[in-house]
Every structure is written in structure tokens, then in C-alpha cells.
Structure 1
């Protein structure tokens, strides 16, 4: 039986590139992630399955890496059509139990972060409306078909004739897992490792969901964890990767450190608001790329704060970052 994982790039309404799902053949046909729920994505998936003599109804399990709709939006429809078990972490489960509550909570946390960061109100509203549109590509997963694994990792999953260790790899998402095949030295990285540096998405904390997580420091910890693994093949959530893992993570880590130093320099020059600093760092970026830069700018400031190089003060306008040196 084949141990191959077949990459199926699916169209997305929200990601900046096609989203990868991976098909494992054999006695237990498996999808790792499943894309969004809208006609073009479903039709693309059906055509790809047909190339291997499969239909949606043949799927036996669907495994989800993290709670972003471009990776899990179609899971409910696929599960209802196939009867497949949907495996996910306990961190993803709340989105199944109450999608509306989780989405509303994320919007609330983001709105507060945008306001505190000095983002103009018209821009805030633009991105909040984009988040609300996630509902259009979501399908409710039948709870009775869900099987949970630990978000913290350590458990194993079986697919593609291989045993995969569950790894906790936060940074891009606070509830993100990757899967590692030690024997084959393969890593399904999801969005923990991408061809270009992943965005440290602003999300709610697991322990205090009304507060935002410090995503970029978590991402660097994940880079350090993954760089120690012997990996011959990286299977990312978007695009393809040929660069050796340790080399790629070193390059991306250095890029983050460079941008963090630039951020500190702008603070020392008298730019104290997140939005203002983002305008300096990403002056030539148009929407939506500026928004990604804005999100990373907040991450650079988080790194500086964690390292004791800046302090975040609160005033009537919101967060104000001041150099400690």
C-alpha cells in the first residue's frame, strides 16, 4: 500500500494562495484539512478524488490542523456526505460546538486590538466585515462524528500507512497542530511552516479568551522546536517547499529579527502607535498586504515587550509603546 500523500490545492475565497489538502490512499482514505465550503472548492476536490478512483463518499477520516476556515470550512459537508470521522484537537472543538460564539469572540478580540493599535475606524470595519464573511464558507460538523486528540500533542494518528506524531505548533494559530512521521521524516506543517514567513494571526488566548495571544513569540518557539527534527519532506498548508527545513526556518527567523530591530528603531525615533509604525515599515504595501504587515508589526512589538526592550503603556488613544533603553 502507498505511503504517499497527494497534495490537492483548492481555491480559497479568503487565503492569499490556494489552500493545500492532502489525500492519503489505502484502506482508510483520509483527507488532512479540507478547504472551504463553496462550489468551486468542492468541485475541485471531487475532480482530484476522481483521478484516484474515489468519491466524497469513500472518505473514511478527515483530520484538521487548526481552526481557520480555509482549512476546515468544508469538513461538515464532507462528513455528512461520507460518514467520515473528523479528527481534531480539543482546541478546535469549540468551533464545532458553537461556531457563532467563537467567531463573535474572535471579532471582539480583534476589534479591541485594532482600536488599541490606532487602526482607522473605516479600515477596522473593512476587516471585521471580512471576518463575518467566514460564515459563507463554513459547514457545521456533525458532533457525533468528531474524535478529539490533545492540542498539546504527544498522541499519534494513523494514515498513509504511517504513524504520525501530533505536535503543538502555535504561532500562526493558537490551536495549530502539525503531524510528524519520524520513520519517513515527513512533516505536515500546516501553516506553521510556509514558503514565506507565516503571519502571526491575532487570536484570543486559550486561558483568557477575552484577551489576545502574543502570536509571534509563540511562532519563534515553534520554529525552534521544528528545526530540531530530521525532515526530508515538508507538506505545508499553502504552496510547496523545497528548501531544507532548518535552513528555511533560519532564514525566516532572521527576517523576523531584522523587522523587529527596525520596529525598535522606529519606536526610538518617536513612533509609538502600532498603526503608525506599520505605515513606516510597510509604506509601499497596498491592501490587503498592508493588513498582513500591520498584524506582523504588532507581533514585532510583542517580541520587544517580551524581551524587555519596550513597554506598552495605556492612554486615551490606546496602546503606546516606549523604548526602555
Structure 2
């Protein structure tokens, strides 16, 4: 259908599925949300909390014959603010029920105790990684970003791996962690369509972002290991069309996944070369791996480095020494 609104962003991408492109203030660019027709009209993700995003969403819905008030339920692929920021505004306008993975709940509901744990986790992680004290202000900036581009909402129902989506019986929930601990994808077997959030993206490799464990008694998740496992699960599936959270659809998911998995090993080779002349902290390795990017995108680049360190540690190819509270890695 033709979009007559300000934002030419809405289009049908599969049977009963419409993509609406939402602007974001982030370097990743626009985010794709999806409207799915079924027993209940369902919105997959919501975009960030900005007026531009709200206008794009309402214009996009109008262009395909719907209003926000028509939405009966909202499914969240994961809790990052470019996907969940408008949840509460949509809920208030429509009365829609919101469904997610259990691990998205403290982020969406902004539990105070969890947010304190969240910030302490990153402070300890960054110090252990050798991040200089003057750069630790990034934790406050990250917290402010969460509070600026999302607002407290609520989760009404929890989704489980390989179970159907409520009121969308053709769609199956898949737990696809790695980019986020709460990440879900949706799969429809009859036409082999997957709505993949940020799990599979055509033009960029999804960052396996380091996040706190589900409770303080556990070690941090090995996010890159999780991500690789979830990718391999999808590579074994019959998928003809992947609808991503950013960018264009993917038609060759197995080829793309193989490329992404291979690039992981290429990066571990680079890490070994960087460690050939002596031990280094994760922060020092990050600065060498991403010399033009690490200061601007420290949480993302440090996550990439730590993920690949995890792979090498699993293979017993690195040794760790602790000195003055900082971990140093060597061959």
C-alpha cells in the first residue's frame, strides 16, 4: 500500500505482516517494527521514546489502514531502548497487553534494585577490564540514555521458547540470546518467515552485548558463545525470509550465518597476534582492535573484545593474571 503520510516507511513484507521503519537518534539508524495481523492485531517492538518515532509509527499504521488504538498486543524482541522505548505510550493509547522474555522485565519495568545492580556490574566489569577511571562516566551516560529514550512500563505476559505467541498460533517463539539476554525471535513455519529483531541483520554483525547476569550470585553471561549457539540453531532451520530489526530482509540466512561465525574466528586470530608481544588488558585490546571507534562506542567495542576473549578462554588458549584489580591476558 502507498503511504500518504510524512514518513514513507510502511510496507507489506509477508502475508499479514507489515514493516514500519522508525527513526532513532542512535548510530544504528532506523529500527524496523512489524505489525502482524491475526486473532489479535500485534505490534512487534515499538521504537525509541521520541516524538519523531511516535509520528513515524502513527503515520505508518495509518498508511496501512490502522490506528495505534487498534493494537491489541505488543511483543518485544528484546529490551534495548530503540525497540522498547514507546511501549508505555502505545499501551496507554491502545490498552494493549505487552509480552516479552522474562529477562526483559526489570529493564521494561525499571526496577530500582536491578538498575543499581546493573550499574555496579558495569563499574566492576570496566575496572576489571582496565578501563581508566576518567572513562567510567560512560556508565552514567548509558544509564541516562536508558532513562531518556524509554519510560517505565509493564510486562503482562511471559513468552517461552518453542511455544506459540498468544493469539498468533501460527507464530512460534524462539529464544535467541546473545545480542541481549532477553532476545526472542518469532517463526512461522508455513511460509518459513522469521521476525528476528537484532539477532540476524543483513548489513552488520549484531553485537553480543555484555549484560549483567539474572541475579548477583551468578557469573556474567558468555554472550558471544550464546549468540553463536543461537545462530547455529537458526542455520539448522528452514527459513526463506528473515525480517530484521534494522536494514533489509535476509534471504540467504545460512550463508550469512556462516560468514558471521567465521569472522569470530578471524577476530580471535587477531587477538592472538596482538598478544604475541605480551600481556594486555581487555581495554588495551579494545583500543587496538577498534582504534577509531572504541572511545565513541566503548560499551559495544569492549563487549566485542570480551566475547572473543571468552572464546579463547574456553579453548584454553589464554592465561589470566590479576594485578591491582585488573585482569591481564597472555598466550
Q: Same fold (TM over 0.5)?
A: yes
Give the match's secondary structure for 1:65: coil
Distance 1:73 1:104 in 2: 20
Distance 2:311 2:165 in 1: 34
Q: State the Cα distance separating 1:127 from its structure 2 match.
A: 4.6
Distance 1:26 1:317 in 2: 54
8 Å CA contact 2:84, 2:108 repeated in 1: no
Q: State the Cα distance separating 1:103 from its structure 2 match.
A: 3.0
Distance 1:103 1:5 in 2: 35
Residue 165 of structure 1 pairs with residue 175 of structure 2: no
Q: State the Cα distance separating 1:44 from its structure 2 match.
A: 0.9
Selected match of 1:40 from 49, 52, 61 = 52
Q: Match for residue 101 of structure 1?
A: 113
8 Å CA contact 1:169, 1:219 repeated in 2: yes
Selected match of 1:148 from 150, 158, 172 = 158
Give the match's secondary structure for 2:190: coil
Give the match's secondary structure for 2:103: coil
Give the match's secondary structure for 1:180: strand
8 Å CA contact 2:24, 2:53 repeated in 1: yes
| Structure-2 change in CA distance of 1:10 and 1:39 (3 Å) | same
Distance 1:36 1:149 in 2: 22
1:165-314 equivalences under 5 Å are: 165-195=172-202, 196-206=204-214, 208=216, 211-285=219-293, 287-289=295-297, 291-314=299-322
Distance 2:324 2:23 in 1: 43
Once the two structures are overlaid, the 10-residue window that deviates more, 18-27 or 194-203, is: 18-27
Selected match of 1:70 from 58, 82, 88 = 82
| Structure-2 change in CA distance of 1:206 and 1:290 (3 Å) | closer
TM-score, normalized by length of structure 1?
Answer: 0.90
Distance 1:198 1:96 in 2: 21
Q: State the Cα distance separating 1:283 from its structure 2 match.
A: 2.4
Structure 1 residue runs without a partner (length 5+) = none
After superposition, give the CA deviation of every residue in 1:275-294 in whole Å (9 maximum; x if it has no partner). Answer: 11112222243642465333
Q: Match for residue 9 of structure 2?
A: none
After superposition, give the CA deviation of every residue in 1:83-134 in whole Å (9 maximum; x if it has no partner). Answer: 1111112222233444333333222211211111111223221353133221
1:80-119 equivalences under 5 Å are: 80-119=92-131
Q: State the Cα distance separating 1:205 from its structure 2 match.
A: 1.5
| Structure-2 change in CA distance of 1:294 and 1:148 (3 Å) | closer
Q: State the Cα distance separating 1:22 from its structure 2 match.
A: 0.5
| Structure-2 change in CA distance of 1:39 and 1:209 (3 Å) | farther
Residue 50 of structure 1 pairs with residue 57 of structure 2: no
Distance 1:34 1:221 in 2: 27
8 Å CA contact 1:10, 1:45 repeated in 2: yes
Question: Number of residue pairs matched?
Answer: 317
Give the match's secondary structure for 1:9: strand
TM-score, normalized by length of structure 2?
Answer: 0.88
Once the two structures are overlaid, the 10-residue window that deviates more, 212-221 or 92-101, is: 92-101
Structure 2 residue runs without a partner (length 5+) = 1-13
| Structure-2 change in CA distance of 1:318 and 1:97 (3 Å) | same
8 Å CA contact 1:171, 1:217 repeated in 2: yes
